[in-house]
Amino acid sequence: MLTESFWQRFIPFRKAAPAKQDTCFWQVDIHSHLLPDLDDGVNSLEETLICLKQLADWGIHKVVTTPHVSRDWYPNGTSTIQESLTAVQDLIIEHELPLTIEVAAEYLLDDFFMESLNKGDLLAFGEKRYLLIETGWSAPPFGLDDMIFRIQTHGYTPVLAHPERYKYYHADKDKPTLGHLREAGCLFQLNWMSLCGRYGSQVEKQARYLLQNAWVDFIGSDMHRSKDISTMTRLFNSADIKLLEEQPLLNMSLLTDVKQP
C-alpha cells in the first residue's frame, strides 16, 4: 500500500498533467519499460503505478510493456519478464485501474536474439505474433534483410521500434532503406515522444516524414519513467494528432486480439 506522503510528493506533478480521457484514440500502447529493475525503465512499483494511472487517464485501455532484451546490456529471459508481470497486475487490481497489461519485449537484433529465435523463446503480442525489434544506434546490423526474413519464416511479424531514431537512416535520401524494409514486410512503430522534440529536431523531422508517408503501423510511448509524462503531454496540442489519425494504425486491433503462443 502506498503511503500518503508518497502521493503528496507527486500532487503538484499530477496537476501539471491534467487527465484527458480518451485523448489517446489508439487505446493500446505497445512499447514501454514499466516493469521495475529489468532495464533502464522504471525503478519501482510506485513509479509503475504513476505511469499506468496517467496512461489510463489518457484513454489507454491496454498496455503491452516491452523490457529491453540484449546479450550485452539486458539479458532478460522470457520467464524473468513474465514473473515480473504478476506484481504489476496485482497493482492494477489493488488500485482498480481501468486497463490491462501484458508483456512482450524489445529485442535488439544481436546473436542472443537469433539464438532465442531459433529456440522459439520469444515474447510476441497479438494474433499476428508481432515482434518488437530494434537495431544498434551506430549502424544497422549486418544482414538485416536476412534477419527480417528469418523472423517471418519463424511465424512472427517484425515491428521495427522507432525507425525515426536511427541516425544512419536520416541521410538516406528519399528513404530507400526504410521503404525497402516496409516492402519486405517489416512494420514500423513510431515513438510518441519523437513528435514532442524529446530526441532532437532531426528525429522529429524524420517522424513527420513517416507520418506524411502513412508509414506508421503502431504508435508507442516508449515510456521509461514518470518524468516522461510532461513531455508526452505536448502531443495533445500538436497538429501531429491529425496526421496520426490518418495512419493505418493497428494498435486498436489488439484490444480484441487473442495472444498467440
Of 207, 168, 167, which Cα lies nearest the Cα of 188? 207
- Stretches 18-26, 48-56, 85-93, 101-109: which one binds Fe ion (CB under 5 A)? 101-109
Site string for Fe ion, 53-92 (x = CB under 5 A): ----------------------------------------
Residue of 29, 47, 57, 106 that binds Fe ion (CB under 5 A): 106
Helix (H) or strand (E) segment spanning residue 101: strand 100-103
Closer of 217 and 222 to Fe ion (Cβ): 222
Query: Using the rule CB under 5 A, is 228 a contact of Fe ion?
Result: no
Closer of 222 and 240 to Fe ion (Cβ): 222
- Stretches 50-58, 173-181, 217-225, 247-255: which one binds Fe ion (CB under 5 A)? 217-225
Report in angstroms how near the CB of residue 31 gets to Fe ion at its nearest: 6
- # residues near Fe ion by CB under 5 A: 2
Closer of 5 and 28 to Fe ion (Cβ): 28
Alpha-carbon distance of 144 to 159, in angstroms, equals 13
Q: List the interface residues with Fe ion, window 110-139 (CB under 5 A).
A: none
Report in angstroms how near the CB of residue 106 gets to Fe ion at its nearest: 5
Report in angstroms how near the CB of residue 62 gets to Fe ion at its nearest: 18
Cβ contacts of 10-19, under 8 Å, gap ≥ 24: 10/50, 10/226, 13/226, 13/229, 13/230, 16/230, 17/54, 17/229, 17/230, 17/233, 19/57, 19/58
Report in angstroms how near the CB of residue 105 gets to Fe ion at its nearest: 10
Of 112, 187, 144, 154, which Cα lies nearest the Cα of 260? 154
Residue of 47, 204, 217, 222 that binds Fe ion (CB under 5 A): 222
Pair 92, 101: CB distance under 8 Å: yes
Cα-Cα-Cα-Cα torsion 252, 255, 256, 261, nearest 10 degrees, comes to 110
Closer of 98 and 136 to Fe ion (Cβ): 136
Q: How far apart are the first and last CA of the chain?
A: 34
- Stretches 12-20, 98-106, 141-149, 206-214: which one binds Fe ion (CB under 5 A)? 98-106
Q: List the interface residues with Fe ion, window 160-189 (CB under 5 A).
A: none
Closer of 47 and 106 to Fe ion (Cβ): 106
- C-alpha 23, offset from chain centre: 18
Alpha-carbon distance of 247 to 192, in angstroms, equals 13
The letter for the amino acid at 256 is: T
Q: Which residues sit at the interface with Fe ion, rule CB under 5 A? A: 106, 222
